[in-house]
Chains A and B, each alone.
Chain A
Amino acid sequence: MPLTRDQITVRAAKELRDGYIVNLGIGMPTLVANHIPAGMDVWLQSENGLLGIGPFPTEAEVDPDLINAGKQTVTARTGASYFSSADSFAMIRGGHIDMCILGAMQVSERGDIANWMIPGKMVKGMGGAMDLVAGVKKVVVTMEHNSKDGAAKFVRECNLPLTGRRCVHMLITDLAVFEFDEKRGGGGRFVLTEVAPGVTVDEVKARTEAGFDVAERVAVVGA
């Protein structure tokens, strides 16, 4: 059984560590916030100038001056700080964020990511995505393994315009988990480390265009 979107975010949340400073992308990655393990202190950074995102506000707490990168009203947790966009991206580009979790349209076998534009469709802009993949210490991508028409999204070479080159450290899909090993091959290679319950390595291979290695012992996600 492929993982549900919620199960993908549960798996992604397992990458969090106590004390981590984390930036969550818009969409599925935002849901990771719901799965931060109890007792673990994780600080969520919002690119529009907030370190320490709290829960969504109650109706009475709604403040138009306090939003997240998705423009949703939020709250700030105790100990939070506000800063300018320049300071926020200095934090991101200067390597002061431990991990970001992003969605993607394509990931290549070399760790390239494409997640900001589709030629021929209206381009809305890259926002902070290029800064995040260039500057954050660990880049985790969560996405569906295949597009709706079944096409591979984990590919040899991205044919969509890139967000960044050789920057993805980990890929979590509804079928499997891949970790990028910089020491393998010429310039690194992804290693399949986990599969979704009931999914075989051969099935993952059949639905993937990218070349990847398979770990000696492949675990089952959530087991």
Chain B
Amino acid sequence: MATKLFNSPSEAFADLKSKGVIRDGMTVMVGGFGLCGIPEQLIIALRDTGVKGLTCISNNAGVDDWGLGLLLQTRQIRKMISSYVGENATFEKQFLQGELEVEFNPQGTLAERIRAGGAGIPAFYTATGAGTVVAEGKETRPLLRPSQGVGGATIPGRGFAGREGKAGGAAVQSGEPREYVLETGLYADLALVKAHRADPFGNLVYRKTARNFNPMMATAAAFVIAEVEEVVGLGDIDADAVHTPGNYVDRIVRTVSQKRIEQRTVRK
């Protein structure tokens, strides 16, 4: 098996254009919540490839001079799929000038769309966003909550799915159906994730709240690069402690991360 370990982000990216992994107009997932758990050095390497017209799937958009903010400064991003973009003047300016397209997803919907995409699930129903602009143009359907049905969620008037007649139909349903919105799974051409530790197979361990979107993104892209702080030997990560199994990861780069803090808050 070819090694997955690379010495630097630029080496890990060196042949990706010729391999067709990096191309203009591609979709890329980038892990992190705020600046916590972002693959900061991989973002810089992606910028340096000069790729243009990116669709970025990332919970946030970095700050002006760090994280995805760097790719906004160079206008390499055409569209963001995010839940919250916070304080980023570059983002705001490009958005207001119509240069940047934004699709806001509720954070849980975004996380679940990525999880679903990685799990081969094309679509799912969720109550989040029902009756709001998020549901506009999407299929909706009244369903009972999973906790209200016997043997699964039910469709009003049609008894229990697959158990009609047997379970007594509508008579044993409890509670009012509520509206659910059909959301689709997400899958990208490339995912850049940040983990704390990796072994040569690509088994990953995340650290504290730097985990966030990284594990799902590692499953939901055709090519996955992990930025890590530590590479250990095969077998040095207890099999029970692996967060992302190594099969999901194509390349691993050990870096020294700056790990910038957005809101340093301390107690006296």
Taking Cβ atoms with an 8 Å cutoff, the residues of A that contact B are: 46-50, 55-59, 62-67, 70-74, 76, 82-86, 88-90, 92-93, 95, 112, 122-131, 134-135, 161-165
Contacts and interface: CB of A to CB of B under 8 A. Distances in A.
Nearest to B146: A94
Contacts of A125: 82-85, 104
Interface of B: 33-37, 59, 82-86, 92, 95-96, 102, 104, 106-112, 114-115, 126-134, 145, 147, 196, 206-216, 259-267
Given A89-B111, A131-B107, A48 B262 contact: no
A58 B133 CA distance: 42
A84 B210 CA distance: 9
Nearest to A67: B36
A44 to B, nearest CB: 13
A59 B268 CA distance: 9
A63 B257 CA distance: 13
The 10 closest A-B pairs by CB, nearest first: A89-B108, A131-B108, A165-B131, A64-B259, A125-B84, A130-B106, A127-B84, A72-B265, A128-B107, A65-B210
Contacts of B104: 123, 125-126
Given A89-B112, A165-B130, A49 B209 contact: yes
Contacts of B128: 93, 130-131, 134-135
19 contacts: A46-B209, A48-B212, A49-B209, A62-B261, A64-B35, A65-B210, A67-B36, A73-B263, A85-B108, A122-B96, A123-B104, A124-B84, A125-B104, A126-B107, A128-B107, A131-B107, A134-B128, A162-B131, A165-B131
Contacts of B209: 46, 48-50, 65-67, 82
A66 B208 contact: yes
Contacts, number: 172
B114 A86 contact: yes
B107 A65 contact: no
A84 B111 contact: yes
Given A64-B210, A126-B134, 11 more contacts: A48-B209, A63-B208, A65-B36, A71-B34, A82-B211, A89-B111, A93-B112, A122-B96, A123-B102, A124-B85, A130-B129
Contact of A84 (B106, B107, B216, B264): B216
Contacts of B263: 67, 70-73
A131 B96 contact: no
A141 B182 CA distance: 28
A48 to B, nearest CB: 4
Given A72-B265, A73-B265, A89-B107, A127 B208 contact: no
A153 to B, nearest CB: 18
Contacts of B114: 86
Contacts of B266: 56-59, 62, 73
For A56, A67, A161, the residue with the greatest tally of chain B CB atoms inside 10 Å of its CB is: A67
Nearest to A128: B107
For A50, A55, A131, the residue with the greatest tally of chain B CB atoms inside 10 Å of its CB is: A131
B126 A65 contact: no
Nearest to B106: A130
Contacts of A162: 131-133
Nearest to A127: B84
B265 A134 contact: no
Contacts of B96: 122
